[in-house]
Amino acid sequence: MRQSVCHSRFCPPRRLRAGLLAIILCASASAGAQTVVTSDEVTGGTGSETGGGLCPPASHAPLPRVEGDPDDPRTHIEADNADISLEAVSVFRGAVVVRRGLRQLMADRVDYDRQQDTAHAEGNVRLLQNDLLITGAEADMNMAAGTGEVRTATYRTAGNKQGRADTLRVLDKYRTELDNATYTTCDIGDPDWLLSAGHIMLNNENRQGSASNVVVRFKGVPFLYLPYMRFPIGDERLSGLLYPSIGDSDQHGTRVVVPYYWNIAPQMDATLTLDHMSRRGTMLQTEFRYLSANNNGQLDWHYLPDDELYGEDRERIRWQHEGRADAGWSGQVDYNSVADTDHLFDFGNDLSATSTTHLQRRGQLVYNADRWQFTSLAQSHQVINGNETYQRLPQLGLTSRLPQRDNALNYHFDAQWVEFAHRDAPTVPEGSRLAVEPSISLPLRSVYGFAEPKLSLHYTRYDLDPQTISSEPELTRTVPIFSLNSGLFFERDTRIGGTDLLHTLEPQLFYAYIPYRDQSDIPVFDSAFRSFNINDLFRADRFDGVDRIGDTNHLTAALTTRLLNQQTGQELLMARLAQVFYFEDRRVTLAGDVTNPRQRSNIIGEFDLRPNNRWAFDSDVTWSPQDDEVTIGNARLRYSPWDTLSLAAAYRFQRDRLETSEAGFNWRLNPRWGFHGRRLYDMENQRELESVLGLRYDSCCWGLSLEAGKRFVSSDRPEENTLLLVLELKGLASFGE
């Protein structure tokens, strides 16, 4: 007959579970910084499988849950047989279950000494909580002190992280140590990869742990040894070495990267990396981060003394900061600097870095009130490739933030004062500029259409340095600007292929008038022609910046049609055409440009198609009726015939400037094998800009990726060829270079 006993002191130590769980967390946290993540523009990335569907069900079955009251202070004991003694040792035999709260201890036999408050368990010992299972040959526990020892222990968590230890000791309420411990996410009986340590010490008081004689094996072959390592317990950060990486390249030679993580404070940390390159030397890379309730930012500093290939010191600094204070104040800093203009070419990782022409140095202070906003800005650039630009030292702005209401008069005010400086002065103009623009508008809106007349008055005053110009130092300009934006909405119900659709027709007219003002004496600090796209056709001024206000008398006509799914609201199709008609010649130009006598602009068309979740097509084209030719064209196509295959292609064209094609795919052949690739080709210059081809294998607990790539840097440099091999031990880290 099965017997049941309840005693408040029959209790497995609470710290046993916390200590063992920390072993699993520490390996993942300490290695996470070395995980390699790849993504690409066309295919949308090549993520790895979690491995859940690849694991044997028996070894990764869910853990049983303990049913009980977590607040119950009593200990319940069940056994087939019991010899109970109030003065000596009580002996429980046969399927013994000791339960307290959500913890459960099971064994073939449990001897409990009431006087010493100790328990000895042997035979199929199992300690179970909701997310952790420990088994062992025998265990000795001091119930009062919460200490004990489990011998020949095996552990497994609900996340299928598991391992063994010869001996597991709970030293006190905070400290737990393990001898000859292992950790893996594979089948514990035959693990593909295994981390082993001679000794592990866990301290839950300071949330830190340490391990000695750490060896990582893959397929039984050891490939990483660390004599000592420290790691955080739980989510806390901890200073210490991260996993190193080793590689080789033509540019840098043999490369060994050793990062060190420094947990300076709860809201401040740094990563210090020694990057040794056999052909160049050793670079120190510093990444410092900080975060508080009102401020956050990051400071990066890379320094390579006496580059053996370049012959000089190499250095790069980048500081990004955002902060806010009480009473509406906020600020931003974006500072970038390199010691030489070849730094990004030599150490940049992608095309965007190597194609950078100017590095920004910018600081901004903003004050937001209920009805207005004040901004102050200082800005300059470091030239990497190209011409010097004007510095704003400083720029002050005041903008209204009045509520905007439909079918009522709306008011707006914008003012800006800038002091422009240039490194090439006095050969180029310098001085200050004041621009003020009040406006009034009346947005009339209804369900069938809208009309919004708007009237602005733009006033500009220049105070120029007489040593940098030959004209008058004081210049003023006043220009009125009128616009009227209007449109109608037509819609009807229709049905295509058994789907209820809403078909819309949306004509739109935009009229703008700006009288001519002679602006030939005004210097050009920051003005440029707007890019010709469909959204800019609905702006009155054809210039960015305020040094030029383009005279105009034009009408933009546009027609848009859409097909919407009435059940989901999803837009299945959108097509739009737009063109500008000029009633007068435009006379205001930038220096070196000539006036455009054409009475009609190019025609811009857009066409987007998304018939279902597998197809997506976006395109835009600009056509010149006068020259009967396409000047700009872009097209992007995505197709996913199956959930495991994604195909993408893109085409970009700008006449006499650019023509590129791009194609990519991401194919999960089966749960274990994946294949991806991408190619970007410059059709104008007939050269490959970038290409990637990769293969990935996934098992239950590890993955292996092989990726070959090629990248064009510049016409005077050889293309870069890369080969990337990454071994991912799931639940631990990725190793590769």
pLDDT digits 0-9 by tens, 244-298: 777 677 778 888 888 888 889 989 999 999 999 999 999 999 999 999 989 999 9
According to the model, what pLDDT value does residue 43 have?
41
What are 177's strand-pairing partners? 169, 201
With vertex at residue 689, the alpha carbon angle to CA 684 and CA 691, rounded to the nearest 5 degrees, is: 135
Using an 8 Å Cβ cutoff, are 325 and 294 in contact?
yes
Determine the distance from the C-alpha atom of residue 194 to the mean position of all C-alpha atoms in its chain, rounded to a whole number. 31
| β-strand partners of 119 | 112, 141
Structure tokens given for 127? 């300690």
Tell me the residue length of the chain: 737
Phi, psi of 556 (to 5 degrees): -100, 130
Question: Which two structure tokens, joined as six digits, stand for 5?
Answer: 């006993």
Q: How far apart are CA 584 and CA 593, in angstroms?
A: 18
**CB contact at 8 A, 213 and 4:** no
Whole-number Cα distances in Å, 92 to 108, 356, 507:
8, 76, 87
Report d(CA 226, CA 563) in Å as an integer: 62
User: What are the tens digits of pLDDT across the range 71-116?
Assistant: 777 777 788 998 888 778 889 999 988 777 777 888 999 988 877 7
pLDDT category at 385 given cuts 50, 70, 90 is: confident
HSE-up (13 A, CA, CB side) for residue 225? 5
Strand-strand pairing, 372-383 and 391-400: antiparallel
Closest residue by Cα to residue 536 from 598, 620, 607 = 620
pLDDT for the residue 398: 97
Tokens of 622: 């600009």
Nearest to 552 by CA among 514, 590, 589: 514
Distance CA 395, CA 365 (A): 10
Give the separation between CA 422 and CA 415, rounded to whole angstroms.
23
Q: What is the pLDDT of residue 683?
A: 92
Confidence band, pLDDT 50/70/90 cuts, at residue 464: very high
> For residue 235, what pLDDT is reported?
60
Q: State residue 40's pLDDT score.
A: 36
Contact 563, 573 (CB under 8 A): yes
- Residue 3 clears pLDDT 70, i.e. is over it: no
As given in the structure block, the two tokens for residue 535 are 């959204």
Kindly state the tokens that stand for 115. 């006087």
* The pLDDT value given to residue 236: 66
Confidence of residue 352 (pLDDT cuts 50, 70, 90): low
Q: Which residues of 630-666 are buried (b: 16+ CB within 10 A; e: fewer)?
A: ebbbebbbbebeeeeebbbbbbbbeeeeebbebbbbb
Determine the pLDDT at residue 59: 63
Residue 17 above 60 pLDDT?
A: no
Looking at mean pLDDT, say which of 11-25, 164-178, 194-208, 426-440 comes out highest.
426-440
pLDDT at residue 35, as a whole number: 26
User: Global pTM?
Assistant: 0.75
Contact in structure between 138 and 122 (CB atoms under 8 Å)? yes
Tell me the DSSP string of 601-660. --EEEEEEE-SSSSEEEEEEEEEETTTTEEEEEEEEEEEEEETTEEEEEEEEEETTTEEE
Q: Span 618-637, mean pLDDT?
A: 94
pLDDT digits (tens, 9 = 90+) for 658-685: 999 999 999 999 999 999 999 999 998 8
DSSP 102: T
Distance (Å, whole) CA 441 – CA 452 = 7
